[in-house]
Amino acid sequence: MIKFPEGFYFGSATSSTQSEGAHTDDLKGKDIWDIWYEEEPYKFFDGIGPQDTSTFYKNYKSDIQLLKKVGHNSFRTSISWSRLFPQGFGKINEDAVKFYRNVFEELKRNDIEPFVNLFHFDMPYELQKIGGWENRKVVDYYREYAKKCFELFGDIVKRWFTFNEPIVHVECGYLLCYHYPCKVDPKAAVQVAYHTALASAFAIKEYHELNQGGKIGIVLNLTPAYPRSQNEADVKASNIAELFANKSFLDPAIKGEYDQELIDIIKKHNLMPEYTQEDLSIIKNNTVDFLGINYYQPVRVCAKAHLPNPEAPFMPDYYYDHYVMPGRRMNPYRGWEIYPKGIYDIAINIKNNYGNIEWMITENGMGVENEERFRKDGMIHDDYRIDFYKEHLTWLHKGIEEGSNCIGYHVWTFIDCWSWINAYKNRYGLIELDLETQERRIKKSGQWFKELSEKGGF
């Protein structure tokens, strides 16, 4: 039997935007997802927007009972910045204060440890209008928001995260057009990344100054970069991919500084952000207590086959080509490679190169289309999801056995959720959601997860 350490956190993750429902009875302000859906609903799969979520806002009590039924001793969600501060700053929404306090208290009453994230791709629209993360003022608004969250809920919540997957709102919002504001502007992307790292450090500073007896970290989606071969040019390509995809946030979060090679590349392309020495000292002196890691897939790269176009806007793949490895295992519904050993490589990297900091898997999961095909006797038999978890947990366990300081494993997600522009195209949940009736039904993977948690392994 593969057995995990005593007190290991087993649970799942979601976000406010993906679970609460946008249009509720309180005074929530609009965020960029609400506005983008209003402006371009056709970009969202089947035209389903953020108003059509799993209604956690209204059903949190019964949903928390379902969390218990599928074996959770912990649960990660996020606070909606625009629900708490409809303008992004200033007047607070007291309905939101009551809602979040009720949720966190209900979790604790049911022996489920809340892990609470402050920002999950959901910039308040009023702040996006002044530039969002491009604007240094927004860093200060975020700092005020974070401090208020700690003051309001820090007596209950003892595990905080500043950001979820910050590289995503950088790449998808400012290079690849998958997130609002859909810009292709590498200079803005670098500024956004820098301001995000600074905002995270300020939140950590505020939290530590309050001495609430908990821990604060950041959630990063790490995609280990593997070279096509051990040829020098391929290895160099993978090192540069690693700089952009992983070390760009990992290094400032844990080490308080940026890798010099990354700085040199940014300078070479005239993309350096506006910064001050005072702000750099904030990043230097306010690093994370622990780390959350989302792992879904690796990235495979090779040396470029052709010279890049010098007139094109800079992209990280100026320095490498993506490599399609023959025979790789794929999740065809998401277009992602399935490579369980990547979770072990992450564990060893954190152990060897990042001071063996305390960390946990904060997301790992598999989205599949048309799961109704697998219904038998009223239940979805998602054995493919159970196998996916087992393989990743086996490699994670190996990393822990070799000394990596991992404290938990959270899957994505507990109930089938709305997933940004993919909406409900793929389902990820331990629990099935009927969109028409909002009925919840536990899947086979949910039953298996309960056994995993109760036994502490499999």
Q: Which two structure tokens, joined as six digits, stand for 180? A: 């609002």
**DSSP states of 1-30:** --BPPTT-EEEEE--HHHHS-SS-SS-PPP
Within a domain: 4: no
- When pLDDT is averaged across residues 158-162 and rounded to a whole number, the result is 98
Residue 212, H or E segment: none
Domains of the chain: total: 1
Q: Is residue 418 part of a domain?
A: yes
| pLDDT, position 53 | 83
- pLDDT tens-place string over residues 397-411: 999 999 999 999 999
* pLDDT at position 22: 61
328 located within any domain: yes
Task: Calculate the average pLDDT of the chain.
Answer: 96
The verdict on whether 38 is a catalytic residue reads: no
Tokens representing 118 are 């402050």
- Tokens found for residue 306: 């052709």
Is residue 167 included in any domain, yes or no?
Answer: yes
Contact 163/200 with Cβ under 8 angstroms?
yes
Phi, psi (deg, nearest 5) at residue 226: -110, 135
> Which among 20, 126, 134, 165 is annotated as catalytic?
165
Residue 80 is predicted with a pLDDT of 97
Residue 312 confidence (pLDDT): 95
Please state, in angstroms and rounded to a whole number, the distance separating the CA atoms of residues 3 and 177: 43
pLDDT of residue 51: 83
Q: How confident is the model at residue 339 (pLDDT cuts 50, 70, 90)?
A: very high
119, pLDDT greater than 70: yes
Identify the three-state secondary structure at position 216: strand
Domain assignment of residue 3, yes or no = no
Strand order of the β-sheet with 299-302 is: 225-227, 299-302, 321-322
pLDDT for the residue numbered 74: 98
| Domain encompassing residue 70 | 9-455
With CA atoms as reference, report the closest residue to 412 among 451, 372, 361: 361
pLDDT given at position 368: 97
Residue 25 has pLDDT above 70, yes or no: no
Q: Which of 20, 363, 371, 432 is labelled catalytic?
A: 363
CATH number of the domain residue 277 falls in: 3.20.20.80
Q: Please report which helix (H) or strand (E) contains residue 299, including its range.
A: strand 299-302
Is 16 within the bounds of a domain?
yes
363 among known catalytic residues: yes
pLDDT bucket at 20, cuts 50 / 70 / 90: very high
* Residue 1 within any structural domain of the chain: no
Are the beta carbons of 411 and 449 closer than 8 angstroms? yes
Tens digit of each residue's pLDDT (9 = 90 or more) over 221-262: 999 999 999 999 999 999 999 999 999 999 999 999 999 999
pTM, to two decimals: 0.96
Specify if 333 maps to a domain: yes
